[in-house]
Amino acid sequence: MDFLMSGLAACGACVFTNPLEVVKTRMQLQGELQAPGTYQRHYRNVFHAFFTIGKVDGLAALQKGLAPALLYQFLMNGIRLGTYGLAEAKGYLHTADGNLSPVHSAAAGALAGIMGAYLGSPIYMVKTHLQAQAASEIAVGHQYKHQIFPPQSWKVALAAAMVSGIAVVMAMTPFDVASTRLYNQPTDTHGKGLMYRGILDALLQTARTEGIWGMYKGIGASYFRLGPHTILSLFFWDQLRFLYHTYTK
C-alpha cells in the first residue's frame, strides 16, 4: 500500500507542477551548444516562457507530456518512497538496540532512489521529447514527433511563493540541464547519442560553449517548481494515508 499511496501522492503534485516542467525543459534546450548572443532567445525568463508557450502553442501546451510525467512520478516515487517505507517497517533502518542508524537510513534511501530513477528513466525520456515539442517559431532543441494522446486543455494555474530551495536548485540544475539534453539529443540507428557521450561530456560541452550560465538555464523554472511539488506531494501523501487508515480500521 505504501507503493500505491506514494505514487498517487506524487501524481497529485505533478498535475500542478507539470507546466513548470515544460517551461524548464524548453529553457534548458534553448541555445544548446551555441555561444551566448548568437541565437534567438524565444524564452527570456520563466514568466515570459509561460506567456510565449500559451500564446503560440496554446494553453494546453503547458501540460504537454503530462501522461508520461504522471506515469514517471507514480513509478519513481512509488518505488522510492515505497521501498524506503518497507525497509523502515521491516526494521532495517535501526540498530540491534533499536536506535535509528544514519548509515542504514542513508543506504536504504540511496538504494531506493537508484531503483526508482533507473526504472523511470525511459519514461522520463518520452516526457522530455513531448515537452520539447513546439511550433516552429518557438521550437528549441531536437524536435521529436511523438504523439501519444490528443491535446487536452488544462486551464490550471498555481501561484506559489518560494522561500526555500535555493541551495537545491543551485546544486542540481547543471545536472538537470545535462540530463534534459542527453534525453533529447538525436540518436543514430543503434540508439547512440550524436551530441554527447555522457553526462560529464554534456556538462563540459555546455560550459565550454555557453559559459557557466549555460549550465543554469531553466533555474527559475526549477526554483518555482520545487516548493509547490514538494508541498503538494506531502499534502497528498498525508491525505491518502489518512483516508487509508480511516477506512481500514
The fraction of the chain above a pLDDT of 90, given in percent, is: 41
Answer whether 79's CB lies under 8 Å from 116's CB. yes
Return the minimum-mean-pLDDT range out of 70-84, 118-132, 142-156, 198-212: 142-156
Structure confidence by residue, pLDDT tens digits, 205-224: 999 999 988 998 988 888 77
Structure confidence by residue, pLDDT tens digits, 99-110: 888 888 888 888
Grouping H, G, I as helix, E, B as strand and the rest as coil, residue 42 is: coil
Distance between CA atoms of 130 and 118, rounded to whole angstroms?
Answer: 20
Which residues fall within 8 angstroms of residue 79, CB to CB, at 6 or more apart?
3, 112, 115, 116, 119, 120
Q: What is the pLDDT of residue 100?
A: 84
What 8-state DSSP symbol labels residue 149? Answer: S
Distance between CA atoms of 187 and 236, rounded to whole angstroms?
Answer: 38
Closest CA to 151 of 28, 45, 22: 22
| Tally of residues, the chain | 249
Structure confidence by residue, pLDDT tens digits, 42-84: 999 999 999 999 999 999 999 998 888 988 988 888 788 778 8
Return the minimum-mean-pLDDT range out of 96-105, 160-169, 206-215, 234-243: 160-169
Confidence of residue 134 (pLDDT cuts 50, 70, 90): very high
With 60 as the cut, is the pLDDT of residue 137 above it? yes
Name all domains of the chain by residue range, CATH numbers in brackets. 2-247 (1.50.40.10)
Q: What is the pLDDT of residue 153?
A: 39
Distance between CA atoms of 20 and 153, rounded to whole angstroms?
Answer: 16
Angle subtended at Cα 80 by Cα 86 and Cα 24, rounded to the nearest 5 degrees: 160
Strand partners, 94: 100
Structure confidence by residue, pLDDT tens digits, 4-30: 677 778 888 888 999 999 999 999 999
Q: What is the pLDDT of residue 156?
A: 36
Q: What is the pLDDT of residue 96?
A: 80
Confidence of residue 1 (pLDDT cuts 50, 70, 90): low
Task: Tell me, yes or no, if the pTM score tops 0.85.
Answer: no
With 50 as the cut, is the pLDDT of residue 117 above it? yes
Owner of C-alpha cell 542540481: 172
As a whole number, the mean pLDDT across the chain is 84
With 80 as the cut, is the pLDDT of residue 147 above it? no
With 60 as the cut, is the pLDDT of residue 148 above it? no
Distance between CA atoms of 45 and 248, rounded to whole angstroms?
Answer: 48
Alpha helix segments (H runs only) across the chain: 2-29, 46-56, 66-89, 102-132, 166-184, 199-210, 219-247
- Between residues 184 and 84, which one has the greater pLDDT? 184
Distance between CA atoms of 52 and 68, rounded to whole angstroms?
Answer: 23
Closest CA to 233 of 1, 11, 2: 11
